[in-house]
Structure 1
Amino acid sequence: MVIEISVAVMAAAVVALVIYLILSLKKVNRTLDTLDQTLNHLKPKVDEVVEETNRTLRETRQLVEEIRVKTQKTDALFDSLGQVGTSLQELSTGISRTAVQYKERLGRVVALADTGLSWIHRLRGSRSSQHKPMKVK
């Protein structure tokens, strides 16, 4: 009789376990159905996001190419401006050197003119003293 009770308890335990497994599998099946519906609902949105991302990447590539072309053009401009700056610097240096040379020459000319004027004043001074009549006291 103990064996019969043990077998009955084991049979009841197996039935309870099978019922629990069936209920668990039904819940898993409902969860998978819900997940399938969610994925089916999200698929068009994901496709839309992927398409928009592809458009954005194409536009970005175009912008990068335009920026590269414009940068190359501005590089040539800045190279030209650099050359103009170098030329202006060389011109300024040449003008400064010429100005220094002319300044020295002008200084010499002014010194000679001053000396010449001084001589002229001395000559006039000596001539005027020769032409004046002497006063007798």
Structure 2
Amino acid sequence: MIVILYIGVLIAGIALLVIAISVSKTLKSTAQTMEEVSKSIEKITVEVQGITDQTEKLLDKTNDLLEDVNGKVGKVDPVFDAVGDIGTSLLGLSQSVRQLATLATNKVGENEARLAQAVSISNSILAFRDKFKANKSAKQAAKEAHEETF
């Protein structure tokens, strides 16, 4: 019986040795994996730091550009205001010219009848004067012809 006990202890010892070796290999493999993970995290940290630096520089440049654009837009605003004022002035001028043209057209329309009457009277006077001159010339010619016969 003692032999069986010694054999049982020997088997238990071998089993514990196998378990210890197995656990040792697992722990060694886990340690290697953890080292690789650590190295990967260090690389990622360096790369992220580089990206962060570049992002900060880009944001700084973007902010500078935005300030520059805002400054230039601020300088251009008075030009747009002036253009708007010119447009308003031209609109007022155009309306004034339109009103003046309408007024002139209305006055011409009102005076058209008077003008036609004045032209008619002028033509009548000129025709009367021409007839009077022709009549006077005819009388003068007749008088001269009558004097020549005597």
Question: Normalising by the residue count of structure 1, what TM-score does the alignment of the two structures yield?
Answer: 0.73
CA deviation profile, 1:5-50 (whole Å, cap 9, x unmatched) = 7666555444433322221111111112222333344444433322
Gaps of 5+ in 1: none
Rg bigger for which structure? Answer: 2
User: Which ranges in structure 2 are unaligned for 5 or more consecutive residues?
Assistant: 139-150
What is the letter of the counterpart of residue 65 of structure 1? E
- 2:51 aligned partner: 49
Instruction: Give the count of matched residue pairs.
Output: 132
- Which ranges of 4 or more aligned residues in structure 1 deviate by more than 6 Å? none
Question: What is the match of residue 87 of structure 2?
Answer: 85
Root-mean-square deviation over aligned CA pairs:
3.0
Go from structure 1 to structure 2 and tell me whether the alpha carbon gap of 1:106 and 1:9 turns closer, same or farther (over 3 Å shift). farther
Aligned to 1:121: 123
> What percentage of residue pairs aligned between the two structures are identical?
24
State the alpha-carbon separation in 2 of the partners of residues 76 and 7 from structure 1: 101
Q: Distance in 2 between matches of 1:67 and 1:101?
A: 50
**TM-score, length basis structure 2:** 0.68
